[in-house]
Amino acid sequence: MITGIRDPFAGPLTHRDLDDTPEDGNRYEVIDGELHVTPFANTGHQRAVTRLVVLLANHVAAEGIGEVFTSGLKVVLDELTGVGPDVVYIAKEDVALIRDDGFYGAPAMVVEVLSSKPSLDTRVKRDKYARAGSRYYWIVDPAARTLWEYRLDGTDYVAVAEVSGDDRFRPELFPRLEIALGRLWAGSL
pLDDT in tens, 112-165: 999 878 888 999 999 999 999 999 999 999 999 999 999 999 999 999 999 999
Burial, 72: exposed, middle or buried (Cβ in 10 Å; 0-12, 13-18, 19+)?
A: exposed
The answer as to whether 27 is a domain residue is no
Query: Domain limits at 99?
Result: 41-185
In total, how many domains does the chain have?
1
Structural domain contains residue 20 = no
What pLDDT score does 4 carry?
52
Q: Report if residue 162 sits inside a domain.
A: yes
Whole-number pLDDT of residue 47: 92
pLDDT, one tens digit per residue, over 20-79 is 888 887 888 899 999 988 888 888 999 999 999 999 999 999 999 999 999 889 999 999
Indicate whether 166 belongs to any domain. Answer: yes
Alpha-carbon gap, residue 29 to 95, rounded angstroms = 22
In a domain, 83, yes or no: yes
Assigned domain for 28 exists = no
Confidence of residue 9 (pLDDT cuts 50, 70, 90): low
Domain CATH code at residue 99: 3.90.1570.10
Residue 97 in this model has a pLDDT that exceeds 90 = yes
pTM of the model: 0.90
- Does any domain span residue 22? no
Q: Is residue 115 part of a domain?
A: yes
